[in-house]
Amino acid sequence: MASTAVGQHAIHPGIHPGIHPGRIEVITGPMFSGKSEELIRRLKRAQIAKRRVACFKPDLDVRYHRTAIASHSAQTLEALTVTNMEELKAVLMPMIDAVEVVGIDEAQFFDPSLVGFSNEMVHLGKRVIIAGLDTTFTGEPFAPMPDLLAIADEVVKLSAVCMQCGAPAVHTQRLGSSQSLVLVGAAGVYEARCRACFRPWTDEHGAEQMELPVGASEQR
Ligand code: ADP
Ligand code: MG
Ligand code: ZN
């Protein structure tokens, strides 16, 4: 089959001439499922392969470090803390030619322009590795993760261990009464739960239904 440069551009309209497309990898699951661990593992391997890595996280997550991403198992990797996508782009774009791999942790806290940004990066030939929560503590999809999952080359969906029964956990259970979606990593505020043990709702007084014994409603 004849393969002209013009023809190739027609097939891959978003790819810049002479640049190999990159790759979007999304690591997702509930809290404690090992997303940050997996992100750190992939970025460290990229560094071993002498790839130039830039890693970002939102400044909401001040759990352990301001200059690193961190896992609950205390693994860390140097990262730049940014307040939003605008700042991320402002920091990254001046050095973009020197960066081959872009890592982003806690991606659920960035706005939906992360999706277009990821496409832009892949068209520039970058490998983009994104970790973020798939659902909120009410069990709803956590934007912009659904769109990132849709456009990814690879999706890694991890489970945690249910803190009630030990089964594989797909949910993040909020333990306090705060309704904030942006409370991050505070010990004792969230735990991983399986579908059977997950209690997404709270009653009108803010006391959680999950504190009722199982089957309490039938016993009344
Ligand atoms: P995430 O980024 O998904 O919140 P991390 O990578 O920060 O997860 O942490 C994963 C680590 O957390 C595990 O390797 C384990 O050491 C620890 N951990 C604590 N609680 C749990 C749990 N309920 N299920 C699985 N791992 C847990
Ligand atoms: Mg994490
Ligand atoms: Zn359970």
Q: Residue 218, CB half-sphere, CA atoms under 13 Å: how many?
A: 3
CATH assignment of 19-159? 3.40.50.300
Q: Is the CB of 57 under 6 A from ligand 1?
A: no
Lowest mean pLDDT among 16-25, 40-49, 135-144, 155-164: 16-25
Q: Is the CB of 148 under 6 A from ligand 1?
A: no
Centre of ligand 1 from the C-alpha of residue 115, in Å? 26
Q: How high is the pLDDT of residue 15?
A: 60
Q: How high is the pLDDT of residue 130?
A: 98
In contact, 55 and 46? CB cutoff 8 Å? no
Q: Report the pLDDT averaged over residues 53-61.
A: 89
Q: How high is the pLDDT of residue 220?
A: 29
Centre of ligand 3 from the C-alpha of residue 183, in Å? 23
Counting from 1 in the atom list of ligand 1, the atom nearest the Cα of 163 is 23
Q: Helices 113-123 and 85-92, interaxial angle, to 10°?
A: 20
Q: Could you tell me the pTM of the whole model? A: 0.84
Q: Is the CB of 69 under 6 A from ligand 1?
A: no
Which structure tokens are listed for 23?
């790759």
Of residues 30 and 214, more confidently modeled: 30
Residue 70 has pLDDT above 60, yes or no: yes
Which structure tokens are listed for 155?
């999706």
pLDDT in tens, 7-33: 333 344 456 667 799 999 999 999 999
In contact, 24 and 30? CB cutoff 8 Å? no
Centre of ligand 1 from the C-alpha of residue 8, in Å? 44
Instruction: Tell which residue, 175, 171, 194, 193, has the closest CA to residue 183.
Output: 175
Q: How high is the pLDDT of residue 188?
A: 78
CA angle 165, 133, 144 (to 5 degrees): 150
Helix, strand, coil fractions of the chain, as percent rounded to 5: 30, 25, 45
Q: How high is the pLDDT of residue 46?
A: 98
